[in-house]
Structures are given as structure tokens and as C-alpha cells.
A and B are shown apart, each in its own frame.
Chain A
Amino acid sequence: MTLLDHLGDDDLLRRCGAGDEDAFTMLYRRRQGGIYRFAAQMSGSPAIAEEVTQEAFMTLIREAGRYEPSKGSVGAFLYGIARNHVLRCLERDGRYVTLGEPDQDAEEPKGLNGAGASNGDLFGDLARRETVERVRQAVLALPPKYREVVALCDLEELEYAEAARALGCELGTVRSRLHRARALLVAKLRASRTVSMPSDTPARRTGGW
């Protein structure tokens, strides 16, 4: 436990601006996971998620002075940068979203090779993975403006106000978009249960409804 552990993000960012490498490392380790996951959930691509995470922190390195504490937290600032980069990437790639690009081992449940895995664990794990995959596809199929609120509020569990600052919109807009996004997801999951998709089908689809 170091002194930096006790510092808030604002103080760490201020130290970063003064050239404190340890402060930058601490801030990066504290925030990179959320940014990476947000970008992955928005794009469905680990490569884009990595690119976006790198770009977000590069922007932080170069333009730390742009951050204004009165406009929100460092987290919201970073999510805002990441969101802009993700949207650019999606635009660049022609809104082509890769659905269901899980980790290599996701297709092969660990229970199959894991020692001591019972049948109950195996089936439960398979069901859980199937659910996760269906939800991921449903989220990725949302239009970006709905996808981003789901990613921030439901997946990264940001406060609505923080999400509003990250997205640069009003709190009421976040609430209404989130409500609409959840309704769309429910409808999408209902449809996917009715017409189940084979799990070994390459799941690629353009974004949007």
C-alpha cells in the first residue's frame, strides 16, 4: 500500500500532468479494465477494445489539461474519450460489428477438460455461457446510442449522472435511452429464444436493427 493508493483520480491526474510516472501507472491500473470492457462491449472486438484503450490513455497523456473537475470525474472523462474513439472506429469500419467474438476458450467450456467437474456444473456452465452469448449479441445489435448507455450503466454500473457526463447528454436522456434499450433487449432475447441460433454458426452481422 503506497501513498498513491490513497489518492483520488483527480490527484493522480494532476501528478500525471507534472510528470509523475507512478501516478500514471496507478491511474491506468485503476481505470483500464472499465475502459477496455466498455470498448469491447461497444465494438465486440478485442482488437478495437485494445486500440481504444490505448488511444484513450494516450489522449490522457497528451491532453490531461483538458480535464475539468467541474464537468465530471476522471472516469467519466476517460469513458467520454473512449466512447468517441469507439464511434470513430465503428464509423471507420463501416459500422461492421463483430458479434460473438468470445475468447478462444469460450467455445470450449472449461468443465469439459477440467478435472472433477460434475455434470451439473457442466450443464450450468454451458447454460451460463449460452446466456452470456445471447445477451452479448443482443447488446451488440443495439444502435450505438442505446448500446453505450447499456454498456455504461448496466455493465460498468456507472451512476446515471456519470454516464450523462461521459456521453455529454442530459440525465433524462440517459434514463429514457436506458429504458428504451432494456425494452429492446428484452424483445431481442425473447426473439432469440423463439428462434434459437446454432452455437457453432459464425455470428457476424452488421450493426443496427
Chain B
Amino acid sequence: MNCIQFEQQVHDLALEKLGERALDEALAHAELCAGCAHLLADSRALRSGLRALAEEGAEDGPRQAPPRLEAILLAAFRRERRAQVIRVRRNRWVLIGMAAAAALLVAVGVRDWRRANRQPAAHGPLAAGSAQSGNAAGGAANAAAKAPSSRPWPRRPAPARTSGVQPKHRAVPERQKPQRRSLPSAGKIEWATDFMPLPGADGAASPEAGELVRVELSRSTVTELGLPAAGEAGAETITAQVFIGDDGVARAIRFAQ
């Protein structure tokens, strides 16, 4: 062993961590080298000094944190625990709220999806250029719901409505669908009258927008509404066009010849 190797191992030698062979070699070298022997003595002195420093303090053992620190930390532990419980409860309510909101969104989405799926079924033939018509007898509400055909402001597919009467069901059930019947195209209709205000529309505010819906009404319904009937004499049904405001209230009507 040379001095460099001895220097590398001197601390382990002082700590008595060297193996038997390395220990013998190191001690043999220290006997021959005064400088390394001195280094070994210093390292042992350092070792004992460090041990004394580690053990210094109170007579009954090494130094400890002041006892008051335990009380302070225990109080902090209790405070943190309480805060943790409050956080857990608050988070639980937040989760419940989020779950409710998600459920509401899903419900609204499902409702809209169903509505959107029903309406094309009711108005599908319109897209093909044909119109639905049917027996208009049985009241204005039924008659108006039968055959919308022209949509100058096609904002959304909507069922036909009548003056002041809100339809209970917007979509026509499949089995109540009337038989298809050809109507004259919009271009060929000659309107016999101007738009006439419908009863009940007077009190409503002027709409900002609306839709024109073509319907077929039974002559008796027109008479009941107190409107001057037009159309072909003797015909059971009269073609009419109803202006429905964006608030859903029918405002005016005009009749075809």
C-alpha cells in the first residue's frame, strides 16, 4: 500500500470499517510512514470528536427539540385534520353538483335529439316538394297541423299552428298522419284575399320574425272563425296561408282562390 491508497482508506480505517487484509496492509504502512501515521491519528481524533459532538447535549441523551414543539405541532395537526374534513365535504358537494349538471345536460340533449328525430318524420315529404294535406274537419287546431308547405323563413322545422291556439303536441303521431294529396305549388296559387288579422292576435306584440305556413282548412272552420270564406265554391276545403310570429302566435291569414 502506498500513501495515496492509504489516504483514500484512512477514514474507513479510523471507523474500523476496513476488511482484515486491507486493515493489516494499512497498519503496516502506517508503521513505516510517519506522515500516514500522523494522518491516521488525526482521523481517529476526528472520529472521536464527531462522536462526542453527536452525543453532546443533555445528560440523559442526545439533544432533542424543545417539548413545546410537540404541542404546537399537535395543534397544527388537529387544525389540518379539521380543514381536511371540510375540504372533503366541500369536494363531495362539488362532485354532486357536477354530476347533477351532467345529468341535466344529458337529459336536455336526449330531449332535443328525440325532438329533432321526430320532426323530420312529420315533415319529411315537404323536403321532396310535396305537401301533406288531410281532412281539416275537426277544428282549426287539427287543420292547421296537417299541411305546412311553404317556409319563407325556414328557421326550424315547426308544426303548423293556428291562431291563438297552441298545439298540445308539436309532432304528428305516425298513425295520425293524413293521406298525401297534391297541393298546387306556391307559384301557381292566386291569393283571393290579403292577409287578415286573426282573432286573438290583436293583443300580441308585433313579432320580429315569423313563418308563412300553408294549410287546408275546412270551410266550416273558416266560417266558425268569422272569416270570409273564399276558394272554389262548393269545395270542402280551402287553401290558406297563415303567418305565425316567432312567438308561436298565428297573426294573420289569407285564402287562395
The B19-42 residues at the A interface (CB cut-off 8 A) are: 39, 42
The B61-80 residues at the A interface (CB cut-off 8 A) are: 62-66, 69-70, 72-74, 76-78, 80
Chain A interface residue count: which class? 35 or more
Are B52 and A128 touching (Cβ within 8 A)?
yes
- Does B118 lie at the interface of the complex (its beta carbon under 8 Å from any beta carbon of A)? no
The A10-42 residues at the B interface (CB cut-off 8 A) are: 16, 19, 21, 24-25, 28-29, 32-33, 35-37, 40-41
B83 to chain A, nearest CB (A): 9
Distance of A193 Cα from B73 Cα, bound (Å): 43
- A170: which B residues are within 8 A, CB to CB? none
Are B76 and A58 touching (Cβ within 8 A)?
yes
- A58: which B residues are within 8 A, CB to CB? 73, 76
B85 to chain A, nearest CB (A): 8
Q: Given that A62-B80, A189-B46 are contacting pairs, would A155 and B65 also be in contact in the complex, using a CB cutoff of 8 Å?
A: no
Contact of B73 among A54, A134, A139, A186 (CB under 8 A): A54
Using a CB–CB distance below 8 Å, which chain A residues touch chain B? 16, 19, 21, 24-25, 28-29, 32-33, 35-37, 40-41, 49-50, 53-54, 57-58, 61-62, 103, 110, 128, 131-132, 134-136, 139, 150, 154-157, 178-179, 182, 185-186, 189-190
Beyond contacts A37-B62, A186-B43: 5 other A-B pairs, Cβ-Cβ < 8 A, are A33-B65, A36-B63, A49-B65, A136-B53, A155-B53
Using a CB–CB distance below 8 Å, which chain B residues touch chain A? 8, 11, 39, 42-43, 45-46, 48-50, 52-54, 56-57, 59, 62-66, 69-70, 72-74, 76-78, 80-81, 84
